[in-house]
Structure formats: C-alpha cells, structure tokens
Amino acid sequence: MDNLLFLVHRIPYPPNKGDKIRSFHFLKHLSEHFNVYLGAFIDDADDLAYINTVKQYCSDVNLVSINPTWRTVMSAKGLFTGSSLSVPYYDVGSMHSWVGSTIQDNQIKKVFLFSSVMAQFITKHEGLDVIADFVDIDSDKWRQYAEKKAWPISWVYTRESKYLLGFEKAIAKKYRQVLFVSKKEADLFNRLSGGLKTIDYVNNGVDIDYFTPSKNFLNPYKKDETAIVFTGAMDYWANVDAVVWFVDNVLPELLANNMNVMFYIVGSKPSSIVKELQAHQNVTVTGRVEDMRPFIQGADVIVAPLRIARGIQNKVLEAMAMGKAVVASPQAMEGIDAETSGIRVADSPSQFSNAIFEMLKLADYEPSNRAFVETEFSWIESGNKLVSIIQNTTLPKESL
C-alpha cells in the first residue's frame, strides 16, 4: 500500500460532531487502502482518552494538544501580516517539524488535507500529489456570522471571510483536487473562485447500522409530553443561534396550541446562553448524553431550525436514518434534497409551528426517510469515491 499523509485540524475521534464524523469515517476507510500518517490537533482535553483508538488506524500519528484560548490570541497575528486569522491559529511549530520529517523519512508523495488551514504545513514541500477536503466553505460561514453580529465583531468576521476565501482559492489553484461535502457546496465555491476545474465533492454518509431503530432503547421522555428535539454540539454558535431563535419565535406558537410541548436541546457543552433557556418551563437542556439514539427515537419531531449553515447537516441525516419526522430550515436541508413524506422545510415561525403540528399526525416511524438515507448517503460509497480520487495518477498541478 502507498503511504498517505493525512492532516486534519481536529483529532478524528470520537465521531460526535459534524467534522469529526466525516474525518473519522474517512480515516477508517483510508486505512484499508493506505499506510496512514496522521497529523492532527487536540483542542479538547476529553479527547486525550481516544489517542490509542486513533492509533489503530495509522502507521504513525502526531497529535498535538493546543489551548484554544492561547491559539485565539496567537491568531491575532493575521491582523498584522495580512492573512486570515484561522491560519495562524493552527500555525504550530512542532506540527511543521513532524510533517517535514515524516514526508522525508517515509518518502511520502500523496497528501490528504482535511480543512483548508492544514495546507500551511505542506506549502514548502514540492512534488506532492495533494487532495484537500474543505468540507464546507468556511469563508462563507464567517460572512454569515458577520451578518448576525454588531460592530466591531462584524468587522472582524467580514475580514476573516475575505482573507480566508483568498486562502481557499489559492489552495484550489495549487493542488490537484479540492473536495466539498455536497454538489451544491462545490458549485458555490466554483462560482466564488471563478470557475476552477479542480472542484469536486464527496457526500457525507450515515452509519445506518448504528443509527437504526431498536426496541432496546428506553424512551427518555415523559409519557404525557410532546417532545420536540434538537440535537448537536451546543458550544457551536450556529446551533446556539438556532435554538435561541426557536425558543423565542416558534415555541410560543406551539404552546398556544399544545401546552404539553417540551423542547429538548440534546448535546454536549451547552453554552451559558443555552443553559439560560432552561428558565423557560418548557425547555430542557440535557447536556452531553452517552447515546444520542434513544433521544432521537423517542422524539415526536426532530427540528433543525438553523439560520446559519454550510454543507450537509449530520443531525438531519441521523434523524432520517432512524425514521423520524424532521422539520428543518432551508439552510439545514441544503445539500440533502430530500422530498419524502417525513420531511418538511420551514423558514418563518408560523411555517415551523404549522409543519410541526402536521408532522405530529404522522406515524412514529417514517420508512421513506430511512430509505432515502440508505440510498443516497452511504459512507462506503463516499469512502470508495475518496479512495479513487486519491489513487488517481494525475500529476500534481504546478504552484502558481
């Protein structure tokens, strides 16, 4: 098997949030076809427990612990050097050294980058065949964030969007292939970058054997309540914004028609803003749960009212895989394109509340949702496509 350098901005385990779900499944699949040399950062002390789990998929690993607060301070260098703030955030000397020695000692020619910021570690190395998975258009996320924030934060985010897009475009021009999580995401970047031929996409997948209904799951909700459920990492600002909007705008309309509605926010590390939502008697914040599946299966309706989103939302696919009715915003459904009986797309508060009441009339299990995911979102198919792209013998593009 060929040697492959795999660089990712966050340790690809445990698969408990969007980017780590994708990077883990790619690592797992790539390890069956390459000798993987993995370089990644650990930004959460809890993830130190999973180092040995990751090692079993790799020939060698370099997992560097970073302090998010200190790295945020270091990222300010971008303001003085005219670069994106995201790039210096990950500019760690020990990773540069390890990448250089690993390439030389193992005669590595193939590189898989996960996240555009990891490109900085190979820019000085020539003759590499590089595939970069941007996943989402991160620069566009910053643009959306800027629209939601007041000055001066809005200025910082607008600047980041501009400079990061420039960095993303430069990478797309330099290396053989740049991938995204969906065709829509790839098409958008193609327009933003002026029509490059290096753009492609590899869909996310769902572990349909894991996310499958089971009689063994205990329902975590009370019998006399209507459980409307949101799942996700609750220290992620887009998720925080979504649940705050839902509580402020949709929940009052639901309660006006059904006093038994309880809105459950299920996910790790709820921010202080999310915790404050519990002051509402019809809101429950669970924090981290050992297994998300009982909370999905027991829900009456899963909601995804995201106002800021890029790419494909795993929370939607996982709920669909378990056959649950889903009401989601247009942003949350981007890249999924499901037209099944168990999906409703809603934007305004009234549309959301009406769609939720409509979905409450459906059966507990929506087979059309499960069937859609089985057909369209397979990790095996996505992994095979990624391997075929990396194994392509096309020579790397010359640096511009």
Q: Do 300 and 168 share a structural domain?
A: no
In which order are the strands placed within the sheet that holds 129-135? 60-65, 34-42, 2-8, 110-114, 129-135, 177-180, 199-201
pLDDT in tens, 212-223: 999 999 999 999
Output the pTM of the full model: 0.85
Q: Do 338 and 327 share a structural domain?
A: yes
Reported confidence tier of residue 392, pLDDT bands at 50, 70, 90: confident
Q: Do 368 and 233 share a structural domain?
A: yes
CATH number at residue 319: 3.40.50.2000
pLDDT higher than 80, residue 368: yes
**Identity of residue 99:** V
The tally of domains found in the chain comes to 2
Helix 183-192 to helix 153-174 angle (10° resolution) is 90
Q: What is the mean pLDDT of residues 261-268?
A: 97
- Rounded Cα distance, 118 and 123, in Å: 10
**Mean pLDDT taken over the chain:** 93
Residue 212 lies in a domain: no
Name the DSSP class of 261. E
Q: Do 230 and 187 share a structural domain?
A: no
pLDDT in tens, 281-338: 999 999 999 999 999 999 999 999 999 888 789 999 999 999 999 999 999 998 898 8
pLDDT higher than 90, residue 391: yes
Phi first, then psi, for residue 265 (nearest 5°) are -110, 110
Annotate 194-213 with DSSP letters as a single string: T--TTEEE----B-TTTS--
Residue 213 lies in a domain: no
Q: Do 263 and 168 share a structural domain?
A: no
Q: Do 195 and 97 share a structural domain?
A: yes
Residue 79 lies in a domain: yes
pLDDT at residue number 399: 37
238: containing domain: 226-376
Gyration radius (Cα) of the chain, Å: 21
Residue 174 lies in a domain: yes
Residue 211 lies in a domain: no
Q: What is the mean pLDDT of residues 74-79?
A: 93
Tokens 């839902």 correspond to what residue?
A: 246
Q: Do 385 and 357 share a structural domain?
A: no
Residue 40 lies in a domain: yes
Q: Do 384 and 302 share a structural domain?
A: no
Q: Do 260 and 154 share a structural domain?
A: no
pLDDT higher than 80, residue 397: no
- Rounded Cα distance, 359 and 233, in Å: 25
Residue 273 lies in a domain: yes
